[in-house]
Structure 1
Amino acid sequence: MVDGLCIACPKGTFGEDCSEECPTDKYGELCSNECHCRPTEPCDPIHGCINTEGTCNVNGSEVQCCTNYILINGRCEALMHGFVIRSQKDYSSRSNG
């Protein structure tokens, strides 16, 4: 409530004056969503489970990194904002001449 008016709390908060953060296993609007995170993932009060490892899929020994992550020395590392990595096949062959 602000100035006697009821307003929606920002995502990740609740309470009469929206000053309370969601409990550790809840997130979203009025903390109405439950986190079902892996042990290595924290539950963000706004977005839910946060993948800190960048691993989206592991099939046997093959690791697939999430969007905005790149596999370096067997680990998924976060890319800096705005950078894109393209493979060699993304570029056409160029000849000198």
Structure 2
Amino acid sequence: QEEMPDSGEILDEVRSQVVDDRVYVFTPKGDVVDLPAGSTPLDFAYHIHSDVGHRCIGAKISGRIVPFTYKLRMGDQVEIITQKHPNPSCDWLNPNLG
């Protein structure tokens, strides 16, 4: 007869799958933002507001400028650098252009 896992093992497995699917990052004000794993600074910007995404010209992670292709990590503090007028770029859709 096959042994059934106990409820603690099942709970641990569910937790690891949930955490693996999500990334929790912070705004400069310390607010937590829940995003899918693999999200980038542009995903963060558009999650905050479409206008922030449209006006995005760069991003900083913990004070360091990163490319748009940077994959956000658990606990990153994300600051979006914006310009006055919206100017989304088709290049953002090309993962090779970072």
**TM-score of the pair, normalised by structure 2:** 0.26
Over alpha carbons, which structure has the higher Rg? Answer: 1
Name whichever structure is richer in strand by fraction. Answer: 1
Higher relative contact order (CA 8 A, sep 6+): 2
More helix by share: 2
User: Normalised by the size of structure 1, how large is the TM-score?
Assistant: 0.26
